[in-house]
Structure 1
């Protein structure tokens, strides 16, 4: 049941595959599709896209949010593990001690819990907070986390919209300069301006679809996994508040995770069945 893990170890495998595929794509573009790879290197065009995208992002977002971009990229590159098995076992063990009404032992076990969400939820139970109030507080924390991480992913989606726009801006600059040079007949200068006009669009589309959008999707997937874990723990905390059997709690929570997996797996045969055309009789 290794769906989630806690510690980070090494690079995310899918991100590594994506980086290698991106390098392969650029190699094909530069070395196999062009007589001179230097034709695809245009520093003014790249500068227009990068500086324009950065400027628009700083205007659109507060400084503290923009400065988190590099940390978010690192979180995408590294493999994040959320160990649902450990958290569930910690919760079941604490519930077993709680059934024995040994509050001191529960507090000692709580100190060994690594999940702040689980630790706070169990602390509410120990403090005899009403179950509905516990659920309201935990749901508020889940909603706050979801909103925060959605905003982080949205930041990269906004940048993915800015990059092609500034690529088009560079294209317009190049075309304007090109029109001024047409009367002089300087083929070299005309070619340079045409390259600027085309390469900025190339850079904008490349950055948007190979960097910004994939990072946004990765962050959204990370949020989905965290939400599953937090909702599962919330259900377990509610069962602990009701003093349900620890064995029942373990099986219920494992069944909850297994049901999510089964629903995901069952979608594929169902989709295949819907897409299958009836054979002629």
Structure 2
């Protein structure tokens, strides 16, 4: 479970509940089923109009992704690449193919298989780069769906407010003052629901999905660099040092989202990591002072 997401939602709802409990004369007035139906139903309907049904059907799956912690073991991927590189460096192609059977990372398996098939390196990089770009575009579109819902929810909250006010004015015209409170509650509570859902659920979920995408793109880029170095017959220790240098900068990169033009120039990123790895390896093999 992703504890930060669950704790954040519960903490936000708790703050709202405490404020209502201490300030409202009748706390139950904030529980209004018709108002909630207007906001939720209208938001889902507008989202269904805006996006294909296939994408809309992934809505609850995306919520599950946010609620459950899908941790990716970057160091584990480095170890897998190093193991493959050792066998590849020894020309043990059969051993590499056998190891690929137990690897779950399809991105890594595809890249290494292309290298085994002696595909030109430029074509391998182009294919892997295309898959990274496609994944990023797809997942950004999924996050955008929640951004749209965050826009629709307050709008339907205002719609519920207008409905409640119109009904209230009709009641006043008929001098049926006993129902004014009910319709006035719908008028105001729907706006409350719209703002709460937009800012506590939909926008945070969109942000969470965007951060997840950035992390996945960074890890896939790291794997692509490892495959590139394998194809260039670099030593396993060099490959591991390079990828560990990548991991060391991983958190900083996440705070500075990867731009698409950076993906268009993988050699520049590779050159920076290779320089870092060279320095690290030189430090490791530096001879001790003569005694």
Q: TM-score, normalised by structure 1?
A: 0.87
1:212 matched to 2:212? The reply is no
- Corresponding residue for residue 272 of structure 1: none
- Corresponding residue for residue 107 of structure 2: 117
RMSD value, Cα: 1.7
Task: Give how far 1:25 is off.
Answer: 2.1
| 1:37-116 equivalent positions in 2, closer than 5 A | 37-116=27-106
- Corresponding residue for residue 162 of structure 1: 152
Task: Give how far 1:190 is off.
Answer: 1.8
**CA distance, structure 1, for counterparts of residue 197 and residue 241 of structure 2:** 46
**CA distance, structure 2, for counterparts of residue 158 and residue 222 of structure 1:** 19
| 1:132-211 equivalent positions in 2, closer than 5 A | 132-211=122-201
Q: Which segment drifts farther, 61-70 or 134-143?
A: 61-70
Task: Give how far 1:264 is off.
Answer: 7.1
Task: Give how far 1:204 is off.
Answer: 0.6
Of residues 211, 222, 225, the one that matches 1:221 is 211
Task: Give how far 1:33 is off.
Answer: 2.2
Q: Deviations over 1:92-148 (max 9, x none)?
A: 111111111111111011112121111111101000001110000000100111011
**CA distance, structure 1, for counterparts of residue 53 and residue 19 of structure 2:** 36
Q: Deviations over 1:135-169 (max 9, x none)?
A: 00000100111011111101111111111111111
**CA distance, structure 1, for counterparts of residue 19 and residue 47 of structure 2:** 29
Q: Is the 8 A contact 2:9 2:201 kept in 1?
A: no
Q: Structure 1 pair 65/263, CA: closer, same or farther in 2 (3 Å)?
A: closer
Gaps of 5+ in 1: 1-10, 267-281
Task: Give how far 1:185 is off.
Answer: 4.0
Q: Structure 1 pair 199/213, CA: closer, same or farther in 2 (3 Å)?
A: same
1:242 matched to 2:251? The reply is no
Does the residue aligned with 2:203 lie in a helix, a strand or coil? helix
Does the residue aligned with 1:112 lie in a helix, a strand or coil? coil
Q: Deviations over 1:19-70 (max 9, x none)?
A: 3203312321442221212110111111111111111111111111111111
**CA distance, structure 2, for counterparts of residue 241 and residue 194 of structure 1:** 70
Q: Which segment drifts farther, 110-119 or 240-249?
A: 110-119
Structure 1 residue runs of 4 or more that deviate by more than 4 Å after TM superposition:
262-266
Q: Is the 8 A contact 2:108 2:223 kept in 1?
A: yes
Does the residue aligned with 2:233 lie in a helix, a strand or coil? coil
**CA distance, structure 2, for counterparts of residue 219 and residue 184 of structure 1:** 51
Q: Is the 8 A contact 2:74 2:247 kept in 1?
A: no
Gaps of 5+ in 2: 257-291
Q: May I ask how many residue pairs the two structures share in their alignment?
A: 256
